[in-house]
Amino acid sequence: MSEVEVAIAAQAKLGECPRWDPESKKLYWTDIDAFQLHRFDPVTGVDEFLQFDEEIGCFSLREKGGFVLAMRSGYYLLDAWNTERRFLSDPEADLDKTRFNDGRCDVRGRLFAGSYYPPKDYDGANLWCLDGDYSVNRVADDLLTTNGIAFSPDNRTFYYSDTPKHVIYRCDYDLDTGRVSNRRVFHEFPRGFGRPDGASVDVEGCYWAALYEGSRVVRLNPYGEIVQEIEVPARCPTMVAFGDEDMKTLYITTAGGRPEAEKKELPHTGDVFRVRVEVAGLPENRFAG
């Protein structure tokens, strides 16, 4: 494994949701608190962005081209880069304190995306499924911050985490129906050493999680055991994505909205990092709608 290096000197407020596109050979990612969707060309080093007027929690590339966005005010479609967004729906229109956060598509093109409830005085966040026909159903409703959504290589296991609770869950998944069931704890992290944020799965079925305020990324085997750790020169890694031709480059987004003393000590806070790993990641699925 190579050393962790800066891929994009982004100084993002809240870098999140990295997605590798094998067709364009570019990395897409969001800066949630800056209301931006970015695309990065690792060959030229050019990173450009689209500016919006609200947060993009997560997104997916579409099978038809363009993007589906899960934003503060609901789901939107973009038909291509830098086109007008089209509103689909807002399943949390009656909730004024939440916004969409982490998400990912399954192999059938359903987008699973969860929300974030900042007050954290009760479990006010939810996990939703947006199908290719644009119908929406709620998968879970007992969360504070939904994160770490991922699928096993055989599509029979669904993972997600609740970051403030320091817990990653493992569920049974029915690909034909999109049903998530039989939730149990996959791994619970001790307090004070980082909490599970965004994640991705590799071809061996291991789950890679960014540990917010933990300065590292961990790889867990299918039994929930930590088998590898990668230190990151930022206190708050937020999510990981596999990319490049062989899917063996791990891209790591980080949060930059941190105390000044921390940013002085860790000057690459908010940057996007990359590191070469030995096992390839699974390719990202595209939204069917």
Spacing of C-alpha 90 from chain mean position: 20
Cβ-based neighbours of 55, under 8 Å, separated by 6 or more: 32, 33, 35, 71, 72, 99, 100
Cβ-based neighbours of 282, under 8 Å, separated by 6 or more: 151, 153, 200, 201, 202, 203, 242, 247
Q: Which of 162, 197, 202, 271 is catalytic?
A: 197
Side-chain-facing half-sphere of 55: CA atoms under 13 Å:
18
Cβ-based neighbours of 178, under 8 Å, separated by 6 or more: 106, 108, 110, 129, 131
Q: Which residues pair with 168 in a beta bridge?
A: 161, 187
The stretches of the chain forming alpha helices (DSSP H) are 260-265
Contact 39, 49 (CB under 8 A): yes
CA gap 240, 208 in Å, rounded: 7
CA gap 21, 19 in Å, rounded: 6
Based on the residue annotation, tell me whether 176 is a catalytic residue of this protein. Answer: no
CA gap 178, 135 in Å, rounded: 12
Interior angle at CA 208, CA 194 and CA 259, nearest 5: 30
- Using a 10 angstrom Cβ sphere, with 0-12 exposed, 13-18 middle and 19 or more buried, the burial of residue 2 is exposed
Cβ-based neighbours of 154, under 8 Å, separated by 6 or more: 205
Q: Which of 49, 85, 50, 51 is nearest to 70 (CA)?
A: 85
Q: Which residues are catalytic?
A: 197
